[in-house]
Structures are given as C-alpha cells and as structure tokens.
Amino acid sequence: MSLTYAQFVTTIANLTSEDETGTDFLQILPSAIDYAEDRIYRELDLLVENVRDSSASTTIGDRNFNLPTSLGVYSGPLDGINIITPASTAPESGTRIRLLPASLDFLDYTWPSSESSGVPQYFAYFSQSSLSGQKNIVFGPWPDATYRVEVIGKIQPAALSASNTTTYLSTYLPDLMVAATMIFMSGWQQNFGAQRADNPQMPASWSAQYAELMASAATWEARKRFAGPSWTSKAPEPAASGQRG
C-alpha cells in the first residue's frame, strides 16, 4: 500500500489522535518527516539514492574540485569518481579513468605543485560541505586539461510534502516511513521516558516496530543489489543446507 502526502497526514493524525488540520500538528509534521526520511536514508543503502553526475569539469592547473549539484546534493558516501578522456569529452563519447581514493597527505607529498600536472589518477575527499568555502575534492596529479568528471554517489531525494505528494519511501516503504515518523511524534507528544508521560510505552513500541520493518527492508534492498545469499537476488532459505549460487 502506497501513501500520498494527504493519506500520510491522515494516517499520522489518526495514530496520534490529533486533528490533521490543527495548527500545531501541521507545524511539527515537516520536522517529523525530515527525521523519518533522514534516518531511513542513512540506515538503508537504497538504490534510489544513486546518481551519476557528469555536469562538472576540472580546471587546468587547479587540483581542487567541487561536487556537482545539478542532480542534487551528495549526502552520503561517494562510490567513485571517473575522469573522462580525452579532455572536454562527454562520458559516453570518451574513456572512463577510475580514480583511486587516497589521503590528502599522499597527494600533497607526491604532487606538491602544478609542475607535475597530468591526467588525475587519485582523489582525496576533503570536505562534503561548501559552507566553509573549502572545495570538496583534491586531485592528484593536478589536471593539465579540462576533463569532464563523473561523480557516482548518493543524494537524498526531495522530502514528502504538499508540493511533492509522493516519494520512493511513501510509495514502496510506507510502513517504515510511518513507524519512523511516529517515533518522532512520540517525543512531540511528550511520551518519551517514564516521567510525565501519558503513554511511556508508545516510543518503545514504535521503535521496536521500526526495527522489525528496517530488518526486512534492508534484506529486500540487498537482494536488489544482488547482495543476497551467494551474491544473488534470491531470498535466504532458512531450511536450506547451503546457500544458492
């Protein structure tokens, strides 16, 4: 069963015994959705988060590089970076050179200046945030031409809202989304802890339900990546004497 935003609002209102048109309820709901989605995206290795963005290029003689944002902001670990050769060539028209992750110390020592520039072979992930003004990536060697850069990693999709009425989570994992939201709403209703709580078992019950749903969702998602038994897409068989390969 999938949920639209309107159905999700009604479901949470019913489970919390709140008026779904109430000012306080509608004010706190976006924070509850953020909590639920942030937690699920961190704990599940979802394929829907994966993107390849090749919209940015290196700058000649500048080893620093900012992650592209045309498809969204990279919020999770990077899976890899490819340099496309020859210079100024799109990924599907050129050759991908997979960069190896390295430490910034190694890059500083091996390529201390642009004098030994060339096609980058290594990268160091220096910072994920642009708020400090620091570039995200450092290349080694320093680029000697303008190369297209293909960044592979995870972005967090847009949150469920009145203007974004369906998401991957609300469509395919609505039960997990509801359970995670209810953990946050338990705190909003001051039901965390045994003191001064009308229903102290509420957060514990939803946390237990969330854990059960997360376990099944994690197995389901692993099978999509062919990370099931013997690296297949098959479900584990409790009665089988050996894994299927």
DSSP 109-175: HH--SGGG-BS--EEEE--S-STTS--SEEEESPBSS--EEEEEEEEPPPPP-SSS---HHHHH-HH
Residue 194 has a pLDDT of 53
CB-side neighbour CA atoms (13 Å) of 230: 9
Residue owning tokens 């967090």 = 156
Residue 235 has a pLDDT of 79
Q: Measured between alpha carbons, how far is residue 122 from residues 69, 111, 125, 129, 228 in Å?
A: 21, 11, 10, 20, 32
Bridge partners (DSSP) listed for residue 149: 56, 83
Residue 227 has a pLDDT of 83
Residue 245 has a pLDDT of 57
Q: Which residues contact 239 (CB under 8 A, 6 or more apart)?
A: none
The identity of residue 81, as a single letter, is I
Residue 94 has a pLDDT of 96
Residue 191 has a pLDDT of 60
Question: What are the backbone angles phi and psi of residue 29, rounded to the nearest 5°?
Answer: -60, -45
In this structure, what token pair is assigned to residue 200?
Answer: 């102290």
Whether 58 contacts 88, CB under 8 Å = no
Residue 6 has a pLDDT of 97
Rounded to an integer, what is the distance from CA 32 to the centroid of its chain? 18
Sheet of 100-101: strand order equals 64-65, 137-140, 122-125, 100-101
Regions in the chain scoring below 50 on pLDDT: none
Q: What angle do CA 177, 181, 186 make, to 5 degrees?
A: 150
Whether 210 contacts 36, CB under 8 Å = no
